[in-house]
Structure 1
Amino acid sequence: MATFPVINMENLNGEERGATMEIIRDACENWGFFELVNHGISHELMDTVERLAKNHYKKCMEQRFKDLVASKGLDGVESEINDMDWESTFHLRHLPESNLFEIPDLEDDYRKAMKEFAVGLEKLAEQLLDLLCENLGLEKGYLKKALYGSRGPTFGTKVSNYPPCPQPELIKGLRAHTDAGGIILLFQDDQVSGLQLLKDDQWIDVPPMRHSIVINIGDQLEVITNGKYKSVMHRVIAQTDGNRMSIASFYNPGSDAVIYPAPTLVEKGAEEKNQVYPKFMFEDYMKLYAAVKFQAKEPRFEAMKAMETTSNLGPIITA
């Protein structure tokens, strides 16, 4: 099995740039995931975010989760459960408007750290999108513009904890799925593992690494690249020991962004395959995704293709 791709972003600034870009290309085409080190977000800030996130869970969410487990009788479960996840979560929205100061129970230093962290992640996401443009032969800024919509991208964070589970073989921390959006940036626990991706019909562990950011490709980038880059099924395995922290930030299209394959990539791929992904509004995709998140993505694309014939989405914008 090939080694999980890890990219040292400092190598983009010197003689190893070409080789590093090649690792990114291979990761996008063959893994759908890669891990970044030396990504420009300070280790001190990451340590602060981790400490505050874990303290917040313990103080404000742990007992709620235990009460939920008890109320559903999950602590004594004997057969596999396929309709829920063993996770405790809350969501933050950063763009187009932040709800950071509307979330109850968050202490001011936690809000401040998450705001600073989100700014760093947004900058990193846009830097990565331009690196992908370079590898794809698209002009700089194309992917950011493709996701923009009328009010800019949607950017938010899902803060999750995966508590110790007495029966991890019977319930997943998070069921297998692909992510609906654009590009995902994950700050995961480096002590407790659990994240896996599906590659060549095998579940592969995404290795926990201190101060790294895990990147994965969402469904929208698969559409824009006309399948050259693919979103990949992934899941979280619950563990009997340890509480796994996961802070996943989603750089997604604006709700009214019209998503469609980049014309130059359709032309380049025409000889190899006739498949062209659909054109649709991101908001419509999300309505469908909400109902079928834990099912295969291909029927979602087919449904969008069927809707395309009855929708008038107007002229497409080219970068």
Structure 2
Amino acid sequence: MENFPVINLEKLNGEERAAIMEMIKDACENWGFFELVNHGISHELMDTVERLTKEHYKKCMEQRFEEMVATKGLEAVQSEINDMDWESTFFLRHLPVSNISEIPDLEEEYRKVMKEFAVELEKLAELLLDLLCENLGLEKGYLKNAFYGSKGPTFGTKVSNYPPCPRPELIKGLRAHTDAGGIILLFQDDKVSGLQLLKDGQWVDVPPMRHSIVINLGDQLEVITNGKYKSVLHRVIAQSDGNRMSIASFYNPGSDAVIYPAPALIEKEEQKQVYPKFVFDDYMKLYAGLKFQAKEPRFEAMKTMESSINLGPIATV
């Protein structure tokens, strides 16, 4: 198996720019995942986010998780569990409106730091979308505009901990799925591994690296690129020791954004349009019940709804 793509973003501004753009293009076309180093988010900020996330889990979530495990009798399971995940999570919403001030139990410093981190990730997501536009031959800003809807993009963070699991062979940390949204930015534990993606029929580890941000593409980018880029199945393997931290931020279309393959791409590639046109919120409603199933039937279901949608023009920002 060839090496997992690790991209040094700092080199974008030098003579190696063309080579870096080629690496991003290859990662989007053949992996659906890549890992960024020197991405411009300060290491101090990342260290603080990690420390406060781990402290918050210990103080506010660990006992709750242990009680849930005990209630469901999960320490003693004898056969594979397919309807739940070995994870402890909470969600933060940043855009269009932040809910960080409403989440109970978060200390003031943690709220402040997560807001700061979200601002940095949002900038990185938008930079990456423009790099994708450049590689695809789309005008700058096309993907951001496609995600815009009437209130701008939806942006939120899932903060997860994957505590040590007594039966990792029987319970997944997180079952295999593709992500429904746009572009996902993950700050993961650099000591405890577990994230894997499916490539050429084999599960491949996403290497834990200090201060890196792992990027993966969601279903909406597959639709907009008419399948040139694909969202990829991934999962988290529970570990018998170590608590794995995962902070995944999802830069997604606005709920009323209309998603469809980019006409310029279809013309350029002389393809026919293979993916439907739909409202992002309709896709999310469908995805909620089918997250751990294949994505293809979701796209098919959207095709059947297509004729009933009253579609306005794409927003321009």
Q: TM-score, normalised by structure 1?
A: 0.98
Within 5 A, what are the aligned runs for 1:267-282?
267-271=267-271, 274-282=272-280
Q: Residue 193 of structure 2 contacts residue 208 of structure 2 at CA under 8 Å; is this kept in 1?
A: yes
Q: Using the TM superposition, give the Cα deviation of residue 266 of structure 1 relative to its aligned residue in structure 2, in angstroms.
A: 1.4
Give yes or no for the alignment of 1:309 onto 2:317: no
Aligned residues: 317
Q: Residue 146 of structure 2 contacts residue 314 of structure 2 at CA under 8 Å; is this kept in 1?
A: no
Give the Cα separation in 1 of the matches to 2:112 and 2:71.
Answer: 34
Give the Cα separation in 1 of the matches to 2:117 and 2:313.
Answer: 37
Give the Cα separation in 1 of the matches to 2:274 and 2:205.
Answer: 32
Match of 2:247 in 1: 247
Q: Using the TM superposition, give the Cα deviation of residue 106 of structure 1 relative to its aligned residue in structure 2, in angstroms.
A: 0.4
Partner residue of 2:291 out of 284, 290, 293: 293
Match of 1:189 in 2: 189
Match of 1:3 in 2: 3
SS for the counterpart of 1:10 is: helix
Q: Residue 91 of structure 1 contacts residue 156 of structure 1 at CA under 8 Å; is this kept in 2?
A: yes
Within 5 A, what are the aligned runs for 1:50-89?
50-89=50-89
Give the Cα separation in 2 of the matches to 1:267 and 1:180.
Answer: 26
Give the Cα separation in 2 of the matches to 1:14 and 1:292.
Answer: 44
Q: Using the TM superposition, give the Cα deviation of residue 130 of structure 1 relative to its aligned residue in structure 2, in angstroms.
A: 0.3
Match of 2:171 in 1: 171
Match of 1:93 in 2: 93
Question: One-letter code of the match for 1:152?
Answer: G
Q: Residue 150 of structure 2 contacts residue 315 of structure 2 at CA under 8 Å; is this kept in 1?
A: no
Q: Residue by residue, what CA displacement relative to the aligned partner does 1:278-312 show, whole Å, maximum 9, x if unpaired?
A: 00000000000001000000000000011002222
Give the Cα separation in 2 of the matches to 1:35 and 1:300.
Answer: 28
SS for the counterpart of 2:196 is: strand
Within 5 A, what are the aligned runs for 1:61-210?
61-210=61-210
Match of 1:38 in 2: 38
Q: Using the TM superposition, give the Cα deviation of residue 265 of structure 1 relative to its aligned residue in structure 2, in angstroms.
A: 1.2
Give the Cα separation in 1 of the matches to 2:8 and 2:159.
Answer: 25
Give the Cα separation in 2 of the matches to 1:256 and 1:317.
Answer: 11
Give the Cα separation in 1 of the matches to 2:18 and 2:313.
Answer: 37
Q: Residue by residue, what CA displacement relative to the aligned partner does 1:127-182 show, whole Å, maximum 9, x if unpaired?
A: 00000000000010000000000000000000000000000010100000000000
Give the Cα separation in 2 of the matches to 1:90 and 1:233.
Answer: 22
Q: Using the TM superposition, give the Cα deviation of residue 259 of structure 1 relative to its aligned residue in structure 2, in angstroms.
A: 0.3
SS for the counterpart of 2:100 is: coil
Q: Residue by residue, what CA displacement relative to the aligned partner does 1:86-113 show, whole Å, maximum 9, x if unpaired?
A: 0000000000000000000000110011
Q: TM-score, normalised by structure 2?
A: 0.98
Q: Using the TM superposition, give the Cα deviation of residue 317 of structure 1 relative to its aligned residue in structure 2, in angstroms.
A: 5.2
| RMSD of aligned Cα (Å) | 1.0
Q: Residue 183 of structure 2 contacts residue 221 of structure 2 at CA under 8 Å; is this kept in 1?
A: yes
Moved more, 259-268 or 110-119: 259-268
Q: Residue 181 of structure 1 contacts residue 218 of structure 1 at CA under 8 Å; is this kept in 2?
A: yes
Give the Cα separation in 1 of the matches to 2:256 and 2:186.
Answer: 25
Q: Residue 256 of structure 1 contacts residue 283 of structure 1 at CA under 8 Å; is this kept in 2?
A: yes
Give the Cα separation in 2 of the matches to 1:240 and 1:94.
Answer: 33
SS for the counterpart of 1:246 is: strand
Q: Residue 266 of structure 1 contacts residue 276 of structure 1 at CA under 8 Å; is this kept in 2?
A: no
Distance 1:317 1:94, change over 3 A: closer
Mind listing any 5+ residue stretches in structure 2 that lack a counterpart? none
Match of 1:236 in 2: 236
Match of 1:213 in 2: 213
SS for the counterpart of 1:101 is: helix
Give the Cα separation in 2 of the matches to 1:318 and 1:298.
Answer: 29
Which runs of structure 1 show a deviation greater than 2 angstroms over 4 or more consecutive aligned residues? 268-271, 314-319
Q: Using the TM superposition, give the Cα deviation of residue 314 of structure 1 relative to its aligned residue in structure 2, in angstroms.
A: 3.3
Q: Residue by residue, what CA displacement relative to the aligned partner does 1:47-105 show, whole Å, maximum 9, x if unpaired?
A: 00000000000000000000000000111000000000000000000000000000000
Q: Residue 88 of structure 2 contacts residue 160 of structure 2 at CA under 8 Å; is this kept in 1?
A: yes
